[in-house]
Structure 1
Amino acid sequence: MGNKRGVFSVKSAYYIALPIVENSEVGECSGGDSRICLWKQVWQLQLPAKVRIFAWRACLDGLPTRLNLAKKGLIVEAECPLYEKATESTSHAFIYCDKLCEVWWNWQGCPINLLAENLCLLDLALKILDAGSSADLETLFATAWAIWWAEPPPEIYKINVDGATAGIRSRSTVGVAIRDSRGVVVAAACIVLNGDYGATVTEAFAVDEGIRLAMEMELHQIIAESDSIGVVDDFNECNCNGEFGMVIQGSLELLRFFRSWKVRYLKRDYNRAAHELAHIAKTNGSSQQWKGMEPPMIRHVLLLELNVNSIFFALSFPFSVLYCMPIST
């Protein structure tokens, strides 16, 4: 396979492959492989080229989900960072993760029951094409693209918090890292509390300190993330009973001054920056704060977390926000 000089090139291979492909497409929709019809529809969708390429890769399971990265030996854990009971496959990352249910429930004109059974993205696209139209495929792939790539609105800030219990004759400490929609740190703190508290109480104080730092920064829309599921549940249920009820109550009073807020659970593996800051305070025995800059001693951790935060930040927003985001060409 080569040119007139007998030298191989991509161009020569293209001219050999082109008639083979064209011959295979004759009578394509009457054949047994329905995927050929799907590919033809995908390339003709009224979407930017980058979204069509994304759709093709997603259907072929060619995106770097945690499951695919684990298969290649690039990471150890394939579990979803937002819902640890499931593996982050392509279909889970775009459709079946519990954090995405609100997105797809708001697709009122969906031609199939999208969440009825756990199918791969290719099979879902084939079912939608069979029951609906190319416009439905555009909705599916444009929304999936927004989940994967689109940045959330710039006025939303994410607060990661963690606590460290005290040693002998020491005080508990907390760490706080606040990021913008790009995953860039805009403020951080490592704080020594005024007493020796249990693990859960310390985690509740960590959320409280994160909220207070956000108020100092005059931020108005926040998402606070903690790796203590008990504390997260109590915040979301406004439960002010129990050993840290007074902390929850005080935090809820502060949250009244924000335009929007959410407290959610995040696995410890994805909360390393706040974890490191809490332990720095524990080691040094003093509080520190950074505004408009990142703590230099944890820069390596922040770089590792940057991609994770930018990818999964978008999952905090409902369908109406995601789907109305412009897709630039």
Structure 2
Amino acid sequence: MVEASKDIDAKVVHNLISCRELAQRSSCDFALSVWSLWQDCPLISLLNAKDFTGLLHQICSNSDGVSLEYFFAISWSIWYNRNQIVHNERGLSPLQVWEMAKRVVDDFQEANLLHLSSTQPSNSGWAAPPPGFFKINVDGASSLDGQGVSGVGVIIRDANGGVLAALCKALPMHYSAEWTELFAMEQGVLLAQEMGVQQAIFESDASAVVQAISQDLCGGESGHLIQGIQNAKLRFLSCSFRHVKRDSNRAAHELAQYAKCKNVSCVWKGVSPPFLDSLFHSGIG
């Protein structure tokens, strides 16, 4: 019984770290390709691991809470992808598996924050812009398993909370989380210009996207999108980009989810999307 347990433990390490049968058209190791995308990955510990229990003890002893979250999220994502292939489903690329793991960690951390905030008074939620300004909240939605289409959501509100316009748009295919968030920001800029907004505050809960736009990071595959947003912002009298927590971006989040789940595209001008009424009445939209 003990020997069987050790064999299972060793096989778990093989599937989560070696996993060479999933390489698919590539001589590099699939699982290690995923782990290498984690900047703080304890790669030496992974390569020297003999069994999962020993590896887990070492990770717990030498890592902080965030590292543990990433370790378990990456392990689960690799295992999930392996099962998809075993059952004749389409597998994901190493980058897509890594993005799945990141989204799992983000959702876990967000759930913890919501749990903590529910036990104490909070000023969280959407905040109105100054008089004369419009606030444009944007969000993107992509499935964890790479299936279906991605969606984006945009909502523009004035200093009184009135809805100037809103948009939900299903994208033609599934995109990574970063690309989807960039498309959402692009749609927000375009809708604001169409509605004649002159003084704009754009908000997103995707910190990497806000940072890339604020710092004009136009290199890489998505550089042309960032450059396009940079060029478009020159048409506003005032324009800024801010990162907010997800609970301050709920309306845009719901719009993006609506587009993704129903595969639809809609625009509302001068009215609020009916399915957001309960959110607005709660005062946290």
User: Normalized against structure 1, the TM-score is what?
Assistant: 0.47
Name the residue aligned to 1:161: 138
- Segments ≥4 residues shifted beyond 4 Å: 77-82, 166-169
Mark the runs of 5 or more structure 1 residues left unpaired by the alignment: 1-72, 83-147, 310-329
User: In the aligned structure 1, how far is the partner of 2:245 from the partner of 2:117?
Assistant: 19
User: In the aligned structure 2, how far is the partner of 1:214 from the partner of 1:251?
Assistant: 12
* 3-state secondary structure, aligned to 2:184: helix
User: In the aligned structure 1, how far is the partner of 2:120 from the partner of 2:142?
Assistant: 27
* 3-state secondary structure, aligned to 2:182: helix
Of 50, 61, 76, the match for 2:119: 76
User: In the aligned structure 2, how far is the partner of 1:223 from the partner of 1:151?
Assistant: 8
Give the deviation of 1:81 after TM superposition: 4.5
Of 198, 201, 205, the match for 1:220: 198
Of 176, 182, 185, the match for 1:207: 185
Give the deviation of 1:283 after TM superposition: 1.7
| Residues 171 and 151 (structure 1), Cα distance of their counterparts in 2 relative to 1, 3 Å cut | closer
Total equivalences in the alignment: 168
Give the deviation of 1:270 after TM superposition: 1.6
User: In the aligned structure 2, how far is the partner of 1:213 from the partner of 1:281?
Assistant: 16
Give the deviation of 1:243 after TM superposition: 3.5
User: In the aligned structure 2, how far is the partner of 1:157 from the partner of 1:192?
Assistant: 24
Per-residue Cα deviation, 1:14-59 (whole angstroms, up to 9, x for no partner): xxxxxxxxxxxxxxxxxxxxxxxxxxxxxxxxxxxxxxxxxxxxxx
* 3-state secondary structure, aligned to 1:303: helix
Of 226, 230, 235, the match for 1:257: 235
User: In the aligned structure 2, how far is the partner of 1:242 from the partner of 1:81?
Assistant: 34
* 3-state secondary structure, aligned to 1:175: strand
Of 272, 276, 286, the match for 2:250: 272
Alignment of 1:20-99 (within 5 A): 75-76=118-119, 81=124
1:302 aligns with 2:270: no
Deviates most, 257-266 or 167-176: 167-176
| Residues 272 and 74 (structure 1), Cα distance of their counterparts in 2 relative to 1, 3 Å cut | closer
Of 269, 288, 312, the match for 2:266: 288
* 3-state secondary structure, aligned to 2:174: coil
Give the deviation of 1:169 after TM superposition: 4.9
**Percent of residue pairs identical:** 42
Give the deviation of 1:180 after TM superposition: 0.3
User: In the aligned structure 1, how far is the partner of 2:198 from the partner of 2:236?
Assistant: 5
CA RMSD of aligned residues (A): 2.6
The aligned amino acid for 1:174 is V
User: In the aligned structure 2, how far is the partner of 1:246 from the partner of 1:79?
Assistant: 39
Give the greater-gyration-radius structure (CA): 1
Per-residue Cα deviation, 1:246-301 (whole angstroms, up to 9, x for no partner): 21111111111111101001101121111111111112111001000000111111
Give the deviation of 1:218 after TM superposition: 0.7
User: In the aligned structure 2, how far is the partner of 1:266 from the partner of 1:252?
Assistant: 20
